[in-house]
Structure formats: structure tokens, C-alpha cells
Structure 1
Amino acid sequence: MITDVEAATPALCRLQLGSELRQLRLNAGITGARVVKKLIWSPSKLTRLETGENSTVEPADAVALCSIYEADAETTARLRGYAAVTKTKRDWWLSPEYRPVIPPGLKAFLDLEATAVGLQNYQAEFVPGLLQTEAYVRAINQWGPQKPSDEDAGRIAAIRTKRQEVLSRPDSPLKFTAIINEAVLRRPVGEPPVMRDQLTHIVDVVESLPNVRVQVVPFRVGVHSGMDGSFVVIQFPDKLGLKPMVYLEGLVDAWVKRSDSDVERYAEAISDLQALAPGPKESLSMIKEAIKEH
């Protein structure tokens, strides 16, 4: 539960509101179909509200749902307050400066990342976003047929840099575990100076921030549990009552997985990869060797 609603971010309020409303509905034994029929809503509207995917939530909608679920006055007032924050504040990634280059899938992830207490990220091909340099981001976006304009490329790089502030939040820095395939170190992205600076940046971050841990899965280990592709396991503060989620990103789309069985499989994959990969000290040595090769 959020103790200071007025100081909370819209992303946090959206997630908390959705989680509590869904729990109220389940506790009341009411199906989603019954709710949308009563309020003359589309099924997707209720789903998006319960998963925290709407950019804003009308306070009147929160109150209407509380009425159907027979929530008490205190709960209704609190959830209305969450909704009001989404109407009166704006997360930085929803500003006019950044919104044009943020697809819905990334927007959903940014909501989760900004609220998370921990991220566990396996990356098969790229340096994890929270560790990328601006030059590396720009080099990535020069590849492929869908190259952004110079203006949009600058926005994308700025978003990546802005996201990294979660690693050094003064009150509660994000605990970030990155497990990367050795291919990430070896494959050139951009000119050699770009890769040297990128890998040096990873070393600098790990050595300066105790909340950041990096491990490298070397080629020599052979088959491993990350070979189906990259993923992120997202963990939230206990006080919010939100279960861990998994974020997946493909060539044209992105997904957030919430089912307990799916999340458990990815969490097990992270544990397997951590056990399989050399520890942080040896992994940093691998990164430093790769710097010399570039």
C-alpha cells in the first residue's frame, strides 16, 4: 500500500490501483464479464486498468468499481486518490519530448522499471539497456531498415540515459543483476572506440555501484537456459503486494508476463544462469579482456 499518495509517481499509482482493484473483484467473487456489462465498458478497458497499462485512470471509474465490489469508504477514498495522481501528474517518459518514440510495450516496461526494487536481466545480443552508453545506443539504431531520424535517434538515446537514473536513486537504488552472453562482448557494435567505451562503462558502473552485478555466460559452457532469448524478471517492494513479472521483447512487439507459472520458469532460468556463469570478479576480467580486443 502506498503511504504517501501525493508524493507517489503516476506509474506506481497505476500499478497499485490495478492490483488492489483486481484483488477487490476476486474477493467479491465477481467476474470481469459481469463488471464490463454493468458499466458498459469494453473488456480491454478493465484488463488494462487492472494491469496498470492505462496512462491515466478516471477517479470516477475507480469509485464505480469500488461501489460494485462494495469496498469500504477508506479503501474507496484511497483508490480514488491513486487515480487522481494519474490525472494530475505525468511520468517523464510520457512527456511530449519522449512519447513519439516510445511504443506501448516499452511504455508498459518503463512503468514497471520505475516502480521496481530489483531487475534480473538476461541479454543474449545487446548490452542491457541500463548499462548502455549513448554512442552504443546510436550505433544500434543505425542498423536495419527502420532507422530513426536524427531527431528521434537523439530522443531514443536520451530515454536510455534517463532510465539509468534508477541505478543511483538516492532513497532506494534499483538492485540490478545483468547476465550477458559472451557474444555481447565480442560482436562489434559501431566503430571500435564505441565498443571500448561501452565495455569500459560497464566495468566502471559495476565497480562504483554495489547494487549492480554483472555476470558473463561464456561460450565454453555450451547449452544453457537463456538460449530462447533475452528477458527481464521484475521484482517490486513487498509493501506493494505486487508479484514479480517478466518482460519479453521481440522484433516488433513486447509482452509482460504475469502468471505465476511463467514467472517461476524465468526466475529458475536466472538462477541456473547465475550458477552456470563465472562470478562477478571473473566476469569483469572477461569484460576487460574484451576491451583490449576491440
Structure 2
Amino acid sequence: MAVDPTPRRRRLGAELRRIREELGWTQDEAAQRLGYKSLATVSKIEGGTQRVTVQQLPHVLEVYQVRDEGLRRRLRELVQRAGEPDWWQRYEGVVDDPLGDYLSQVEMASGLFVWNPNAVHGLLQTRDYAHAVTEGSRVWKRLQDIDHFVELRMEHQKSMGDREPPLKMWAVLSEGLLRQEVGGREVMRKQVQHLIALATKSPNVTIQVLPYKAGAHAGMDGPFIHMTFPAGPDVIVIESMRASLHMNQPDNVELYRTAADLLKSEALSHNASVPLLESIAKDLE
């Protein structure tokens, strides 16, 4: 029976497809080994439209020769939570499919590298800054829609803050972004102070500032997010106003991983970034 291709089912399907391809099997070969009558069953599982039960999973893992306990545990969790409604489904009309996929992937990720020269990442935003960014984007026209999206962003922060194990986040922020008076000088000053607090008090957050003097740099092609997971391939996310591109092809991932490493080397170190953040906050007084 067909089921909704929830983000977790799609993630499970992508992991099983990766394992099958690493084994060098076609979908037909996998179906035969699993005892399915048709390759269509394997195709549906990999597409997230066929349920895999907790009872079926051990057989699948045995046939697919999955021995790594961490990967087995992660796949089991995806199966167990595949049909759960995600908390963001309460925000009807605010969360579209690409954003839902992104939120689900962030909740499953172990690490996040973020480069965005246009805005502070949502997980690092203050409420007032989030409101100013959302209003300024012109995506949402009505005040109630803006407020609804900001509430979503704040709940996402809380959800990630309560998560175990905690997400490791690494952000490179351009100096120009930090001096842009989003929401006015007071809002921006408090946002920078919030970044200082995260940089100095949160062991899971690394913040680097790319100063003006860095000149041309590896991030000039545009913003991107590099997600890593406890098991399975990394994912690169490139977001625009109404679309989100997710890539896990090894060549693409390696390209953006290199860009991330170059940005880290071109920016001030984590410790050296704090005095610049403090200077910017003082300039905004």
C-alpha cells in the first residue's frame, strides 16, 4: 500500500539506495535477494512511497550486509519515526515541501556548515532580527503571516536547542552582513551581541567572521549549507526565495566541502572573530 513520502521515508529510501548501489546491485537484483516479486517494491521503498516496518528492517539490513551499528541504529530510527507528524506541520501555509524537507534534514544532521553573505542563519537569529529579515524579504505580505513564520523559526531553534545529541554548527559570516542595519541599529546590535554570546558560551557553535580585507574569497558564488549526518552521504543545500536544491552527489559535495574549507581558512579564527564582533556591536550603539 502506498504511503505519503515523508522526509524521513525519503531519507531512508535514499540511504537504502546508496547501500544497494555500493553493493553493485540493480533494483531487480535487490528485489530478488529480498524476496520481493517485483523491482517495483524496491523502487517504491527508495522513493519513500512504500512502508518499511520495524519487523521487516532486520531482514533488509541482513540482506544489504549492513554491519555498522551506528548506521543500523540510524536506519531503525528513521523507520520508527517515518510516519510521525513533524512539529512544523502545525504551520499550515507557512511550510512548503522544500522547507519541510530542509527542517527534517537539519533535525537528523550531526553537523551544519553555513555560508550566507545575505543573512544570519535562522538558527542563530534573534526574534527581532528574524522578523526584520522575514518582513524585508517580501515573501510574506500580511503581518500575521510574517509573525507565523517567525514563530516557526523560533520553535525550530528551541527544537534544535533541546536535541540530543546537540547539532554542531559552524558559520562563516561576512563583515558586511554584520554591519547591515537589518531592523535598525538597535536590532542589529542585539543580533551581533547574540552571536557573541553563542561564540563564547556555546561549545557546539563555531563562528568566524570574514573581514572586508579578505577581498575575493571562495564564497563569492553564493550561499550554501553543508550538512553531515551520523550515517550516509553529506548533503549540500542551496536555497532561494521559493526553491531549495539538495545535492548529495560526491563530486558536488566535494566541491562545496572545499569551498567551506577555504572560507574557514580565509576568515578570522573563532577566537579572533569575537573582538571584531564586539567592535561591530560597539559601532552600532
Normalising by structure 2, what TM-score? 0.79
Conservation of the 8 A alpha-carbon contact between 1:24 and 1:71: no
Of 16, 22, 25, the match for 1:20? 16
1:111-190 matches, within 5 Å, as: 111-165=104-158, 168-169=161-162, 171-190=164-183
> For residues 81 and 262 of structure 1, what CA distance do their matches in structure 2 show?
27
Residue 280 of structure 1, CA deviation:
1.2
Q: In structure 2, do the counterparts of structure 1 residues 166 and 264 end up closer, same or farther at CA, with 3 Å as the change threshold?
A: farther
1:242-257 matches, within 5 Å, as: 242-257=232-247
Residue 26 of structure 1, CA deviation:
6.1
Of 70, 83, 86, the match for 1:91? 86
Residue 155 of structure 1, CA deviation:
2.1
Paired position in structure 1 for 2:281 = 291
The residue matched to 1:215 in structure 2 has which SS?
Answer: strand
> For residues 123 and 11 of structure 2, what CA distance do their matches in structure 1 show?
22
Q: In structure 2, do the counterparts of structure 1 residues 142 and 171 end up closer, same or farther at CA, with 3 Å as the change threshold?
A: closer
Conservation of the 8 A alpha-carbon contact between 2:239 and 2:245: yes
Paired position in structure 2 for 1:269 = 259
The residue matched to 1:119 in structure 2 has which SS?
Answer: strand
Conservation of the 8 A alpha-carbon contact between 2:98 and 2:243: yes
Tell whether 2:51 aligns with 1:58. Answer: yes
Residue 138 of structure 1, CA deviation:
0.8
Residue 15 of structure 1, CA deviation:
2.2
Post-superposition CA distance 1:226-282 (Å, at most 9, x none): 011111110111xx3x11111111233111111101111111111111111111122
Residue 81 of structure 1, CA deviation:
8.6
Specify every segment of 5 or more residues in structure 1 that has no aligned partner in the other structure, as ranges. Answer: 1-9
1:180-259 matches, within 5 Å, as: 180-237=173-230, 240=231, 242-259=232-249
Specify every segment of 5 or more residues in structure 2 that has no aligned partner in the other structure, as ranges. Answer: 1-5, 32-37, 68-72
The residue matched to 1:188 in structure 2 has which SS?
Answer: coil
> For residues 264 and 197 of structure 2, what CA distance do their matches in structure 1 show?
21
> For residues 77 and 263 of structure 2, what CA distance do their matches in structure 1 show?
42
Conservation of the 8 A alpha-carbon contact between 1:116 and 1:236: yes
Residue 145 of structure 1, CA deviation:
4.2
> For residues 81 and 268 of structure 1, what CA distance do their matches in structure 2 show?
31
Of 271, 278, 281, the match for 1:281? 271
Question: In terms of mean alpha carbon deviation, does 152-161 or 218-227 score higher?
Answer: 152-161
Q: Please report the RMSD computed on the Cα atoms of aligned residues, expressed in angstroms.
A: 3.6
> For residues 185 and 81 of structure 1, what CA distance do their matches in structure 2 show?
39
Residue 151 of structure 1, CA deviation:
2.3
Identity rate, percent: 26
> For residues 46 and 16 of structure 1, what CA distance do their matches in structure 2 show?
8
Residue 209 of structure 1, CA deviation:
0.6
> For residues 76 and 106 of structure 2, what CA distance do their matches in structure 1 show?
24
Paired position in structure 2 for 1:3 = none
> For residues 222 and 111 of structure 2, what CA distance do their matches in structure 1 show?
20
